[in-house]
Structure 1
Amino acid sequence: MTRPWTSRWRHKRRSPLRRVEHSVPAWEVRWRSVNAAHCGGTAVEFRLLGPVELHTSAGPVKLGTPRERHVVAVLAAEAGRTVPIGTLIDRVWGPDAPGGAPATLRVYLAHIRKVLDKANSDAGRPAALVRRPGGYLLDVAADQVDLCRFRVLVARARDPGCPEHRRAELLREALDLVAGEPLADLSGEWADRVRQAWSREHVEAALGCARVLLGSDPGAAVVLLGGLADRYPLNESVAAALMRALHAAGRSAEALQLYADVRDRLADQLGIDPGAELQDVHRRILRGEPVIPPRPVPSAAGAVPAQLPADPPGFVGRTEHLDGLDALLAAAADRTTTRVAAIDGTAGVGKTALALHWAHRVADRFPDGQLYLNLRGFDPGGQVTDPVRAVRLLLDALGVPPRQIPTDLDAQTALYRSVVTGRRMLIVLDNARDSVQVEPLLPGAPGCLVLVTSRNRLTSLVATAGAQPLPVELLTDAEARQLLSRRLGDRVAAEPEATEEIVVRCARLPLALTLVAAHAALRPRTRLAVLAEQLRDTQHRWQTLTGDSPTADVRTVFSWSYRALTADAARLFRLLGRHPGPDLTVPAAASLTAWPPAAVRPPLAELTRANLVVEHVPGRYTLHDLLRAYAADLSTTTDPSDGEATGRILDHYVHSAHAADNMLYPAEDPLVLASPRPGVVPETPADNAAALDWFTAEHAVLVAAVEHAAANGLAVPAWQLAGNLSIYLHRRGHWHDWLRTARVAVDATAQTDEPIGQALANRNLGRAYLRLGRFDEGEPYLSRALELTTRVGEPVAQAHVHSVLSYLWQRRGQYPQAVAHAENALRLFRVGGHLRGQADILNQIAWCQTELGDYPQAVSCCQQALALNQQFGDPHGRAATLDTLGYAHSHLGEHGPALACYTQALALAADIGNRYYEAEVHSHLGDAHRALGDTAAALEAYRRALAIFEDLDHPDAGSVRAKLNELEPVPTDQP
């Protein structure tokens, strides 16, 4: 329903090049002169405040696939700045970018460049995609990108010299650019971060505009804020501002009704009551008191402390955190409440550095002073600053005579709050132990801003004081390199590989990187490669990460957090050092500890609150590599007899992967597993989709577990886990991980006397080589597998090897040999009564017949295979067979049935998550469209096939790229 206050807040999206005619004051002259240099007629415009769009004077320009639009959005958001290739890949694909991402990115950039060349043909202000060392730059003026234009306008409005009426014009012009949710047609972590950060900017810009309008035109403020309230229905600052505007416009009844609506909405959706600001406005309206907050007036009385320690040298990164603090500062400008930021993170991650760096940036915004207090929540001496001493230190800093300071904590707190009332102060409470230590130190009246840092998550402070949580994570790779560069200069560029290893070995932890940089600075003639080697050596690692004080010793700093843990949390933390992979779930932690899942949750939650463990995605917990090494060292010295933990966690993954693999592909040879150790809690997926999701989530863990088992001499779990993992890796196209784990399994089984295990491992490795097109390397392993299965007399196991050998000869183009192996496989599958195997091998025979030109026989074999598929409902086999059948129909000139088969095959391949099949079918579909003369449809199908093959880093990408180039040649100036 349209609210009465939003009826006039409807407007068309305006061009980011629109100008408001006015006289230009002196404070705007410089920006205008710079901007004017770019003007020269119509412009290419990038729109990110809504769906990602490219516009020219002729209208919108088609940008291509969603991922291409994602690339454009990343470049446009950084207009005029070089975006490193690694950053582009991370923002477009996320943390799990495939190996083929760089090649696919080049294809996208070539197409984007073609689109821009066409768009620039009639533009006075073009846009150029420029290749720079290490990255790409979108060469456009800031006002050609609506998001950048928005930020420029808001920044100009915040200039202290900007007159009130002009501030409102600038902010309204910025708000007019908004067409909807930014990057509305994109998904992924980067797009989510942009939307989250921009929503704060949007709210603050609108609130700033409304504050100006409130004194001169409250009706216009109502219209503006009404639209904002519809968009952010749970934002209390927006609701409070709208209530003020309604009251000032003589619509107090509507303001009170709005309060009731928001109160009910908060209770229903969040289970909370309105905050202090909203309640205060409500109370004032009921009493008939003024609701427009007075402008801050600096206090002339009392001491003006300036206690901030020095700005940390070489500060890098943390752009989002600094933006979040800037937004909090903007919100504090209305002086309706004290704003609190709760900065938390693990030891050494740079919480204090962030707080102090930002505090120095904005110190001049707090004319009544800046207070700093180290609460020593985690301290080498173990002496936490108690609240009585903390309040007394603050009163001393404020210049209160000692004789006027009472001894009682409540009285001291009351005096402290009285002294800071009416002042605009920045208060930094560093190294807090918990919320209880902080709460007495919060001012009671509005106007101040408080920064709190802690290793623990201050949940109570967020709940009771409305603190804004700002969790601080590890630096990105680029930020870590920048930190080293700022301290070591050209030495970093001279040794890029050593620098990269130092970044990895230091886990991107600022404290560790700073200590390594200090060691390097003190040894200017020592190559960085020497330091990297010392970090690689577990015996020397901690020496390299040690300074000349307890606070400059990574292990000591970690120990302060460890000593604060309960016994159960401490044991769990130590055992996490024995876990092989990058993260784990609650069931895995239960298996590691031999505790029931219900018993493992409280200590896991304790570790999370202490920021020793991070729940980086819901239900999955991780700790960075240095903490993992510290935990492993503790486990070795504290729990030397708990070697069973390694066996339990491997049992967990072997049995869980076995259950998921059987769900994905029951046609494989079933493994007979020994019972898991006591205390192991395997996970059992409910269906095919759940099994695929489980493998996707555990992918990196399972690869690491295979290698961990082999490295510890545990051959059986190594080859069993590699075997259970292979179908998932094959379906999802993780060819190199498949090859890696299969090699480990072959080496592990070579040390055992288990012919079936050796056969399965060798067949698995042979298949992996085949999928990568390395036929000569794979053949010896397949021959060894056939020899072993023949020796033990297992017909179904022999049939599987013949099936793979048939595929080998198919890929070599030797179809008679391929048919011979396939017929052997069919005979052996029939001997063993293996229906799924029969269906699969009939499909292989059909494919061979298509290549031999016997299309009617191929159709017949496909129909037999589909009939068998129908009996046991195998979507994987059905998808493959429909693809073959479509191929046969296409070569018979029956293009209608061919397209129908391909369409069904694509749907099935997508459902089962087999990306290789998806790509293969798209390629065949493109062939069919091309045969029908539908070039546009063929191009689209080939592009989809190419994108998937390149994501999979598969050699078949080359043949598809050749088909694309035949229809649409790529320009010679490749990016």
Structure 2
Amino acid sequence: MTDQVVDTGGVRVSTQGSDENQFLGRTRELKELRADIERAGLDTLSGRKAPRARVLLIAGRPGSGRTALAEELVRQVADRYADGVLRARLSEPDGTPVPVARAARELLTALGRPVPPGAGEDDLTAALREALAGRRALLLLDDAAESEQVDALLPDAPQCLVVAVSGGPLTGITDVRPCTVGGLDTKSAVELLSRHTGSVRITVDPRSAEGLAEVCQGQPAALMLAGGWLAARPKAAVADLAKQLQAESDEGTALGRVFRLAYASLPVNAARMLRLLTLAPGGFVDPHTASALAGCSVDGARSILDDLVALGLLHTVASPLPQYEVPACLYAHLKARTETQDRPAELQLARARMLERTVRLLQSCRTITETDSPETRQKLLAMPQALRFPNPRAAADWLTLRRPALLASARAAVADGELDTLARRLMSQLVRALVVHVGTHAAADDLYAVHSLVLDVAERQNLPREKAAALLNLGDVDARTGRTQAALVRYRAALDAGREANDPYATGRAMESVGGAHLELGDYDRAADWFGRALAQRLARDERADAARLYGRIGAAHTFAGRYGEALRNWRAAVAGHRKNGDLAAHARALSELARVQEYAGRPEESLRTCQEAVEWARRAEDTRLQGALYLRLADTLEHLGDPAAAQLHRGAARRMLGEEPEEPDADEPGSEQATFEPEQDPNAYEIRSTSAED
């Protein structure tokens, strides 16, 4: 038995026990839309090649069944588009337009294309057009608020089709084929009612059913609410409901009248929960969210949610986990009642409970991966059973499915401005959960968005320590994605914030990152200067491992600048530092770089001895790949010294170690192992560092 599923707009329905959704009516509209796909466009008629995808517009008021009509059209023609169907929703439930950049990110992710973290709208839309070039895909852009949203996402591929759903015309987009959606025909409207009430009540009084359909103006959402009301009252006659609605025929829209009747019949607890669901970010709700908002048990919330679905006041979302959606057509009606029936303090408390529950779920999601620790196991056992995940896989699946809602929660919490402490805890736990389950690089785009929100809160609350951490994290992502100049600006701002907070960690890391940015930009003198400032701080704090690493970064800057004497001095200091610290692998790598600089400086014999020493330390460190690379270095040096036979032996040893045909190091690229700017990867690099220890 399947759960009841209703698409926004309410034309497509499935009742319990049915195997598939059944679409009602709209025969004329579907015929016209399919004909518009085949009809020649203005460019074709004028003899020009169509530069962009064909755009079909389905326009209608919320609740008219416009989305369901679009989905049915997509279902009927999807087999013509070999590269599949892509979907994006362009409005929040309250009507706020979704930023084009966010929609483009979601579409690129659906295409399996990498999304550059922090990329701007123009870059993302250009990447989307490039990804769709040469493809034959179908895009469904639902609930478009502005024509600019659709225009920015149009692929430059005539073989693609875009189906846009909106409340009105899309002015400014050429050759749009509009289809205006009104009410259902009487036969389909009565059939929709019978799906909820059963055929008996409709059969015994067909005229009353037709009258009810007329009062509802054939609007699917209104008809579904009416059907839900009748289904909950088996003894009520269709004529009784029709008379009640006709008595209010002068008050508002048909949907508004039926909603008032359905809402008035709800139990107090169910009505309160339904109102509070408008606080759920993105309009997506699960039993935990509803439970926290209403202050009831998870099982109790699930029961009320299912009852609301049966009444047509909520929609279920196709998902492995129970998830629900507030119909966009009812959002304004519910919001109006929230503002008049709930005190602001009660709403704020509900938001706080929802955020706190989300924080605890994220904490549990992360903690389930750390069960090797007795302390962590004890913390898990102390959590209520409803908040625990059975295993890491279940936690990862939950995080993936709830990701859009979690990101929406973070955005809403920051925009609220009244619950910044909870917002900071939420973002801290979200970052940690993403890093654990998804990985720093795979989740970089989401992490960039979250750290931008952290920065907003830190600036608003004047928290220099958190501001520095956010700026460092954002700068690292900018640097890795090639926006080095932007990264440099972030790092300098982080340095100022770190100094204001008197945070040596932040200031040290910011100085080193500023140096790394200058190194990438080719300003080697400034790079060496900033690395030197960071080194002085590390030495003053007796941080020997970091000091040894910084000697190497200074050496790399001098190598690029061609100052081999200074480079040799700093690399020798790095070698000595790593040796004293007992870091065998770092010692071997520093010796490798020292040998490289010696070769550039015209000292091949010294380079050969140093490289042989590095091989020995790499062997002790059991770093096979480094040993292979060093054997290649030895082979190059031996060839320069006129011993090709020994060079060939070393190349053979490198091949055996690496298990493949190795790439030859480029002797013309001094310090090639240091050429790419990689920001320092600290274990706390993506951690919001001034959060409560209990999290």
Give the TM bin, normalised by the shorter chain. Answer: 0.3 to 0.5
Greater RCO, 1 or 2 (C-alpha within 8 Å, sep 6+): 2
- TM-score w.r.t. structure 2 length? 0.45
